[in-house]
Amino acid sequence: MSKTNGVPNPAYNYGSKDEHSKVDMESSHYERAATITGHNIVYTVDVKTKPCCGQIEKKEILKGINGIFKPGMNAILGPTGSGKSSVLDILAGRKDPAGLSGHLLLDGSPPPENFKCMVGYVVQDDVVMGGLTVRENFEFSATLRLPSDVTKADRKDRVDNVINELGLNKCADTKVGNEFFRGVSGGERKRTNIGMELIISPPVLFLDEPTTGLDANTANSVMMLLRRLALKGRTVVFSIHQPRYSIFKLFDSLMLLSMGECVYHGPASESLEYFKSIGYVIEEHNNPPDFFLDVINGEANHSEKDINEISVKDIEEVHTKLVSSFQKSTLNSRLQNQMNPILQQYQHAVETNTVKVLPKIEYATSAFTQFRAVSGRTILNLLRNPQLSVMQWLVLIIFGLIVGAIYWQLEKDCVTGIQNRVGAFFFIIMNQVFGNLSAVELFIKERSIFMHENVSGFYRVSAYFFSKIICDVIPMRLIPVILFSAVTYFMLGLRLAAENFFLYVLSLFLVAMSASGIAFFFSATVSIFAVANLCIALTYVFMMVFSGLLVNVSSVPSWLRWLKWASLFRYGLNALDINELKDMTFSNGTATCSATGNDYLIDQNIPYQTSWDFWQNIVALGAMSVISMTGTYIQLRRMKK
């Protein structure tokens, strides 16, 4: 293994300047294939039996699983709810240690801390950026997951080798595709997901149902690819649901699960003979994986009449028989003979205090490199998918023109001058607040990508958070506010002073940032777009009620009056009122009709005499932005990945 700051890194060192001394990537990176063993793995979770009463009980998901996964094709099969995904996640180090017991060993030693960052894990859903090409996605993975001392040329060689290895040469410079445009095919997309993990040459490659969503021919192509990887010595472990026979023939090892227990674990080629020995004979032309699931579900070797009479009790009896038969079988004895020496050697090392402790896997790159890479990808994706940002600009400009047309060149009339200005300001603030609802999709849209990349060691949460916020604020918040302000300020005929204009822009920008910050928080908290939208809208409406314009806050019951301090509408409206109305006189030219802006501010209990009276509203808006952004970051860190 190469080292970064004295810590082993899951990637090879390709940093040699001598062309003849470079690592042969086609051969050497497979030498790191590892053997994983699980000894008496038990996994329990807390389940609420009565949600209304808060009663919780322990539910066993896995019940004493023993398994060995060597270089080759290792398949995990079982019906829905059997625990195959839980086994895969535990082997890959992706389960919360709470509720987990047993020993998981990597080549006979405990896996290093952050073991999940050194293995490859291909999730069931696609987690690649659709706006980027296949090559650009691989380059992103290489930039963040290969050590910083690997040269740019060597990273390029690594990317080219993975492209060749996966047979993606023809589509390497084609965009993967997203909801806006069509990209590569389903099989090429799945291979792209696999390639993102192969960049680091992981000792073990895990895949969660790699054929899901693919047609039969494409699924076969993907599995043939995994077979080629396995033949070169790589350890490939995957869960799969009802593969066809041509795929089943590719398996080296097979683990069958039922209700969290193992009913078969051994060579896939011996599975049919084993089931025959315990009384289950496959029918001619039947697919073995389908047959195994029928056996587990109690539906094998039954007539149609018998199947109609199968009960839960019958299935449990079959399950008990299958578990008992396997535990007594020669296959299980052979498995224990392989696994027991590994466990005994580890236990002896524990007793003699000679356990080989592998150093913690650290991030391969610095926080700044991660920030730069994620920001670059975000900007590139925005440039290739400008629809949302352009629409944000156009909508605000159109609203600005509408506001300007309605309140065109406001007069200083004593009757309508103040009323129209305050009404225009309220309408403008409402537009800025609700116009930034688009911020809700920032973390919801890429939630699955973020969760996968963060847990796989691509980048720190902080690097992702700051890159997304900065790349969102400038094109989606700052530029639209400047355009909107330039349109409305002069169409409304507000004070022609540079200082007042810039304070107007600053006030609207902080209103937009406060509104966006609330949207960011719910975006990081809630995974369902409609629910997040509803929560944000309700928050905005409550803030609007306590703005001081729709209802006099002093008339609100005291136990609700404190909500005015959490209203961004109130701070924004106060800032705009002071900026425009302070020391302004309104008159229709007669002595009988005269008013001042100061009188209105006094009537509304808005302090205005000192400069701090204005700036306290700006500070409050800034504080609300910082608080909501901090809450967003905390939620991203708390997110279960």
Q: What is the pLDDT of residues 433-473, one digit of tens each?
A: 988 888 888 899 889 899 999 998 899 999 999 999 999 88
Q: Which CATH number fits domain 36-119+202-218+228-352: 3.50.50.60, 3.40.50.150, 3.40.50.300, 3.40.640.10?
A: 3.40.50.300
Distance separating alpha carbons of residues 584 and 597, to the nearest angstrom: 5
CA 480 to chain centre: 28
Q: What is the pLDDT of residue 476?
A: 86
Does position 549 have pLDDT exceeding 80, yes or no? no
Question: What tens digit of pLDDT does each residue of 310-328 get?
Answer: 556 667 888 899 999 999 9
The model's pTM: 0.83
Q: What are the contacts of 316-321 at 24+ separation with CB within 8 A? A: 319/258, 319/259, 319/261, 319/263, 321/278
Q: Where are the domains of the chain?
A: 36-119+202-218+228-352, 367-638
b vs e for 183-217, b when ≥16 Cβ sit within 10 Å of the residue's Cβ? bbbebbbbbbbbbbbbbbbbbbbbbbbbbeebeee
The arithmetic mean of pLDDT across residues 393-410, rounded, is 88
Answer yes or no: are the C-beta atoms of 22 and 154 closer than 8 Å.
Answer: yes
Q: How confident is the model at residue 628 (pLDDT cuts 50, 70, 90)?
A: very high
Distance separating alpha carbons of residues 429 and 540, to the nearest angstrom: 11
Question: Of all residues in the chain, what percent carry a pLDDT higher than 90?
Answer: 48
Distance separating alpha carbons of residues 170 and 173, to the nearest angstrom: 8
DSSP assignment of 216-242 equals HHHHHHHHHHHHHHHHTT-EEEEE-SS
Q: What average pLDDT does the chain have?
A: 85
Q: What is the pLDDT of residue 589?
A: 65
Q: What is the pLDDT of residue 75?
A: 96
Instruction: Report strand pairing: 585-587 vs 594-596.
Output: antiparallel
Distance separating alpha carbons of residues 593 and 521, to the nearest angstrom: 48
Does position 494 have pLDDT exceeding 50, yes or no? yes
Instruction: Report strand pairing: 261-267 vs 253-258.
Output: antiparallel
DSSP assignment of 117-145 equals GTSEEE-SS--S-TTSBHHHHHHHHHHHH
Question: What tens digit of pLDDT does each residue of 576-613 get?
Answer: 999 988 888 877 766 666 778 888 888 888 888 888 99
Q: What is the pLDDT of residue 4?
A: 37
Q: What is the pLDDT of residue 7?
A: 33
The arithmetic mean of pLDDT across residues 78-92, rounded, is 91
Q: What is the pLDDT of residue 145?
A: 92
Q: What is the pLDDT of residue 261?
A: 94
Choose the weakest-confidence range: 46-60, 370-384, 398-412: 46-60
Q: How confident is the model at residue 181 (pLDDT cuts 50, 70, 90)?
A: confident
Question: Of all residues in the chain, what percent carry a pLDDT higher than 70?
Answer: 90
Does position 413 have pLDDT exceeding 80, yes or no? no
Question: What tens digit of pLDDT does each residue of 125-156 get?
Answer: 888 898 899 999 999 999 999 988 889 999 99
Q: Which two tokens stand for residue 627?
A: 């608080």
Distance separating alpha carbons of residues 40 and 103, to the nearest angstrom: 7
